[in-house]
Amino acid sequence: MNNIINDIRDKARQLLAEGKVDVVIGYEKGSLPLKATPFFAHSPAEVDSLIWDETCENNLATYVAKTPGKKAIVAKGCDSRALAVLLQENQLVRDDLYIIGVSCTGVIDQRKIVAEVGEILEAGINDGKISVKGMAGDKEYLFAELKDATCQTCRYPNPVLEDVHLGETIAVSQEAPAFADVIALEEQSAGERQDYFKEQMSKCIRCYACRNACPLCYCQECFVDCNSPRWLTGGVNRAENLFFQAGRVLHLAGRCVDCGACTRACPQGVDIRALNRKMTKDVYTMYNHEAGISEDGKPALNEYTTNDPEQFLVKE
C-alpha cells in the first residue's frame, strides 16, 4: 500500500512539475480518525500530503467539473465510472483530464464501528487490521468486517478509464450482478416495504449531503431549491423526504454508478442505496445497461429500442 502512495505522489509531482496539469485531485488525511478528505495539490511541494488507503471514501469525480483548468484525478473504479458518465453527458473535456487509476479493495463503513464502540477517538490501519479506540471501548477489526456494503459486491474495483495505472489490478469475477439486497426487499410484501421506507424516510433531515456527495448530481439548480415551480415546501417530514429521495433517484436512474458515496455521506444512516440499487437493477434487467462502464455510449434513459418492455401499462 505504501508503494502506491509513493507512486501517486511521484506521478502527481511529475505532472505538476511538467505543467501538464494545474491541479491534482486526491486524498489527504482527514482531521478525524479513519477519515480521508479530498485534497487539491496545486504545486509539487504539496503532493506529499496525498494518501491512498481504505479510508478514501469520497467519490472525487464530484469535484472534477467544479475545478477549473487541467486536472489530474486519483480515481478508483467507481470514480472512473462516474467520470465516464460525466464524459458521456459532455460535462467534462477528456483532454483536460488526466486519470491516475488505482485499484480499490473497498472502503471502510464507519457506521459499523461507531455502532459498536461509539465515537472513534483513535484508529490505526495495519496489514488489513483496523484497531480502534472508541468512546465506549476498544476493538480490533478485520478489514473484511468493515467493508462498505457497496464494495462487497463491487464488480469494477479497477478503473474503467485511466491514463496511467498505479499498483496492481484486482481480479474480480465478471458474472452478472446478483442484486441479492434488492431481491430481498422485493420479496417482502408491499406493506412491509412501505413500512421500511417510512422508517428510513423519517430519519432523513434533508441536509442534502447525499446530493452534494454524489458525482452525478450536478444540476445547476436542484429541484429541491427551485422556487417556481416549488416542488417541496422545505418542511421536513417523511412524505416530503420520500418525494426528495424518489425524485433524486429517478434523476439518477440509468446513471448511478453505485459508488455508495450518498449513503456514506448520510449523517442519519438513511438507506438511500436501497432506492438507487432498485433502479440499477431495473435498468440492468430491462435495458441490459450498466452505467459508466465506457466513455462511449449514452445513459440508458437517453436511448430506446422499439421493443422495450411494457409491463408497466395499465391492464385492460
Partner 1 sequence: MGEIQVEAENKKYEPKIAAFLCNWCSYAGADLAGVGRVQYPATIRTIRVPCSGRINPLYVLKAMANGADGVLVSGCHPGDCHYISGNYVARRKFALIKSLLNHVGLEEDRISFSWVSAAEGIRFAEVVKGVTERVSALGPNNGIFKVVDDGGAAADE
Q: Which is nearer to partner 1, 95 or 310 (CB)?
A: 310
Given a contact cutoff of 8 angstroms between Cβ atoms, the answer to whether 143 and 129 are in contact is yes
CB-nearer residue toward partner 1: 135 or 184: 184
Angle, vertex CA 213, rays to CA 80 and CA 67, nearest 5:
65
Give strand pairing partners of 38: 27
Pick 45 or 246: Cβ nearer partner 1: 246
Q: Which three cell numbers stand for residue 261?
A: 458515496
Q: Does 279 bind partner 1 (CB under 8 A)?
A: yes
Q: Which helix (H) or strand (E) holds 2?
A: helix 2-17
Q: Which residue in 42, 45, 38, 44 sits closest to 74, CA to CA?
A: 38
Question: From the CB of 183, what's the least distance to partner 1, in Å?
Answer: 12
Residue 209 has which C-alpha cell?
449531503
Tell me the HSE value of 210 on the side-chain side, using a 13 A CA sphere. Answer: 27
Q: Residues 203 to 242: which contact partner 1 by CB under 8 A?
A: 223, 229, 231, 233, 235, 237-240, 242
Of 212 and 302, nearer to partner 1 (C-beta) is 302
Q: Does 288 bind partner 1 (CB under 8 A)?
A: no
Which residue in 69, 90, 180, 190 binds partner 1 (CB under 8 A)?
Answer: 190
Q: Which of 5, 72, 151, 249 binds partner 1 (CB under 8 A)?
A: 249
Alpha carbon distances (Å) from 263 to 57, 59, 271, 288, 306: 11, 12, 7, 25, 36
Nearer to partner 1, 42 or 198 (CB): 198
By CB under 8 A, residue 302 contacts partner 1? yes
What is the distance between the alpha carbons of residues 244 and 297, in angstroms, rounded to a whole number? Answer: 29
Instruction: Please identify, among the stretches 20-28, 34-42, 53-61, 195-203, the one whose residues bind partner 1 according to the rule CB under 8 A.
Output: 195-203
DSSP 8-state assignment for residue 147 = B
| Residues lying near partner 1 in the complex (CB under 8 A) | 185-186, 190-191, 193-198, 202, 223, 229, 231, 233, 235, 237-240, 242-243, 246-247, 249-251, 253-254, 275, 278-279, 282-283, 286-287, 300-306, 308-316
